[in-house]
A and B are shown apart, each in its own frame.
Chain A
């Protein structure tokens, strides 16, 4: 896979016309997001679209306009020690089209991303959870505080360099 941050490419360049045609046959509405997609993956009948982190709000708005009206959740995957370290996976559902897409943004450590609470207020708790357990800051979030761990907790438990047991 090409690195989406350093080498933006069209879905066709990444995965070949056939894979993209298959994905589009199933998910025609994602053409509304075409301007923001830097990478795409059609795997196990699930469509994963990578967007640049600075475009996340615009991409979410475009997805909303394309019919993906329901925000399911956002979570992160820590690919430590690889760079970019964090993969944010936004899961979006369309009630009308009866399908879901995964929008992915990749971040380095210390990099922040704009909150999508302006598009879907339901992202509020989920972004707080990612902030709490992974330490990814969301700018523009109305109440970015820890949600699971105590306020005075040090560290972010779901990071891969945080041990499962024993001392930190």
Chain B
């Protein structure tokens, strides 16, 4: 029988491909939004993501709609799960630092700091003041950098494409500064256990000062592009309401929490790394909506500039690492000339360093909210358990509350306003 004759024998039944309804029904039985009724004729299940441009990564949302109104919404995460917590358990303490960069890849310095603080607590290390100031300086520059990515992508989601290019222009200057200090633009691994990895190169302070001098006018430029724009206003104001009670109940932290009227900032209220020496205001708003979160973050960038300037002005001289030769790699020069240093270098590289048994939590105010590192040691050179609490993971739980009863188009604005990074959520 020729191939053409064979074709004729294929009936319409054979050609049937699963219809859209079948696929949706299958999807719903696997990922039924919590608390929703079975699919009826009135509601529609919409699968948003994981490859949706507004989800900032690979976030899948299963949205139940009545017309265009959101009835329920269930985030489906885990597409970026790489098992970083498990991998940490097989590494020496120092080897975990580069992995922390990759968790929340928009604020590597903040992740490094949080991890270093937890291990330093276990080791009971004293960090020199200069290293603390450098940490504060780069934590705040990271905050500006992260907020710039947020502003650019948030505005782009809403439809204001120009802002994105302006934001990334300034971000480029910041990434050059990061490259100047650590050799890397994004995965910096700059803040290490016991201090920071390198002394600031000559000329970099001038570069940072020039950026800080210029930057407030750039913030005014963004606001000039957005604040008076009627489309921007109507897409943001009154959208994604989250009350203060809901924010606490749902574990929301960071700018979304402060935009709901809760005045809490880890930097000010539970200071770490010498933040108590800096003067800054914590922007709080009681607007509870996407607009309030926008205002809070813009104000935070201005405050970060203030902190950076204070850090540059008050930066003391001295060591950039703690005086702990058995934990911190020796100076290259010393390692080649002194026997003791060579032994320490060899031991740290080949065996790591043992950390006293115990558990410690560190908490820092990351650009996205409260970031906690929980490190458990069993007295060996490898961490027994490392757990990261990223603000994004908890903030995502509040998405349904903020979107319920609103239009499907508002979901995009609300996702932008909580500033999710899926690397931090899935770990």
Cβ of A71 under 8 Å from chain B: yes
| Segment with Cβ contacts to A, from B82-90, B93-101, B228-236 | B82-90
- Interface size of A in residues (CB-CB distance below 8 Å): 40
Query: What 0/1 pattern do residues 120 to 153 of B give for CB contact below 8 A with A?
Result: 0110100000000000000000000000000000
Residues of A near B34 (CB, < 8 A) are: 142-143
Quote the shortest CB–CB distance from A50 to chain B (angstroms): 12
State whether B426 touches A148 (Cβ < 8 A).
yes
Residues of A near B87 (CB, < 8 A) are: 164
State whether A102 touches B78 (Cβ < 8 A).
no
Closest chain B residue to A78 by CB distance? B385
Query: What 0/1 pattern do residues 376 to 392 of B give for CB contact below 8 A with A?
Result: 10000000110101000
State whether A125 touches B393 (Cβ < 8 A).
yes
Given A44-B358, A122-B397, decide whether A73 and B389 contact each other with a Cβ distance below 8 A.
yes
Cβ of A140 under 8 Å from chain B: no
State whether A125 touches B387 (Cβ < 8 A).
no
Given A102-B361, A125-B393, decide whether A164 and B89 contact each other with a Cβ distance below 8 A.
yes
Known: A73-B387, A100-B270. 20 other contacts (CB 8 A): A44-B121, A44-B122, A44-B360, A46-B359, A73-B372, A73-B374, A77-B359, A77-B376, A78-B385, A91-B389, A95-B269, A100-B363, A122-B249, A122-B394, A142-B34, A142-B35, A147-B78, A148-B426, A149-B81, A158-B86
Residues of A near B384 (CB, < 8 A) are: 77
Cβ of B16 under 8 Å from chain A: no
Q: Report the Cα distance A17→B63, complex, angstroms.
A: 55
State whether B389 touches A120 (Cβ < 8 A).
no
Q: Report the Cα distance A164→B374, complex, angstroms.
A: 20
Residues of B near A120 (CB, < 8 A) are: 249, 251
Closest chain B residue to A160 by CB distance? B89
Quote the shortest CB–CB distance from B302 to chain A (angstroms): 24
Quote the shortest CB–CB distance from A19 to chain B (angstroms): 14
Quote the shortest CB–CB distance from B292 to chain A (angstroms): 19
Q: Report the Cα distance A70→B269, complex, angstroms.
A: 14
Query: What 0/1 pattern do residues 132 to 168 of A give for CB contact below 8 A with B?
Result: 0100000000110011111100000110001011000
Closest chain A residue to B356 by CB distance? A44
Cβ of B264 under 8 Å from chain A: yes
Q: Report the Cα distance A142→B270, complex, angstroms.
A: 33
State whether B248 touches A70 (Cβ < 8 A).
yes
Subset of 11 A-B contacts with CB under 8 Å: A44-B121, A46-B360, A72-B251, A73-B251, A75-B374, A77-B359, A78-B385, A120-B249, A125-B394, A147-B77, A149-B81
Cβ of B295 under 8 Å from chain A: no
Residues of B near A71 (CB, < 8 A) are: 251
State whether B387 touches A75 (Cβ < 8 A).
yes
Given A89-B374, A122-B397, decide whether A70 and B251 contact each other with a Cβ distance below 8 A.
yes
State whether A72 touches B372 (Cβ < 8 A).
yes
Taking CB atoms and an 8 Å cut-off, the chain A residues in 72-115 that contact chain B are 72-73, 75, 77-78, 89, 91, 95, 98-100, 102
Cβ of A121 under 8 Å from chain B: yes
Given A77-B385, A91-B374, A121-B250, decide whether A149 and B78 contact each other with a Cβ distance below 8 A.
yes
- Interface size of B in residues (CB-CB distance below 8 Å): 43
Of B83, B249, B360, the residue contacting A121 (CB under 8 A) is B249
Q: Report the Cα distance A133→B83, complex, angstroms.
A: 10
State whether A125 touches B124 (Cβ < 8 A).
no
Of B264, B387, B397, the residue contacting A95 (CB under 8 A) is B264
Cβ of A18 under 8 Å from chain B: no
Q: Report the Cα distance A71→B249, complex, angstroms.
A: 8
In the A-B complex, the 10 residue pairs with the closest CB atoms: A122-B251, A73-B389, A148-B78, A75-B387, A148-B81, A164-B90, A143-B34, A98-B269, A77-B385, A95-B264
Cβ of B370 under 8 Å from chain A: yes
State whether B361 touches A46 (Cβ < 8 A).
yes
Cβ of B332 under 8 Å from chain A: no
Quote the shortest CB–CB distance from B54 to chain A (angstroms): 21
State whether A72 touches B249 (Cβ < 8 A).
no
Quote the shortest CB–CB distance from B79 to chain A (angstroms): 10
Cβ of A10 under 8 Å from chain B: no
Q: Report the Cα distance A148→B427, complex, angstroms.
A: 9
Query: What 0/1 pattern do residues 31 to 71 of A give for CB contact below 8 A with B?
Result: 00000000000011010100000000000000000000111
Q: Report the Cα distance A87→B361, complex, angstroms.
A: 15
Quote the shortest CB–CB distance from B90 to chain A (angstroms): 4
State whether A125 touches B396 (Cβ < 8 A).
yes
Quote the shortest CB–CB distance from A79 to chain B (angstroms): 9
Residues of B near A73 (CB, < 8 A) are: 251, 372, 374, 387, 389, 394
Cβ of B336 under 8 Å from chain A: no
Residues of B near A46 (CB, < 8 A) are: 359-361
Given A95-B264, A100-B361, decide whether A157 and B86 contact each other with a Cβ distance below 8 A.
yes
Cβ of B408 under 8 Å from chain A: no
Query: What 0/1 pattern do residues 253 to 290 of B give for CB contact below 8 A with A?
Result: 00000000010100001100000000000000000000
State whether B124 touches A44 (Cβ < 8 A).
yes
Quote the shortest CB–CB distance from A108 to chain B (angstroms): 18
Residues of B near A148 (CB, < 8 A) are: 77-78, 81, 426-427
Residues of B near A100 (CB, < 8 A) are: 270, 361, 363
Given A121-B250, A125-B394, decide whether A43 and B358 contact each other with a Cβ distance below 8 A.
yes
Of A89, A146, A150, the residue contacting B359 (CB under 8 A) is A89
Closest chain B residue to A89 by CB distance? B374
Q: Report the Cα distance A150→B426, complex, angstroms.
A: 12
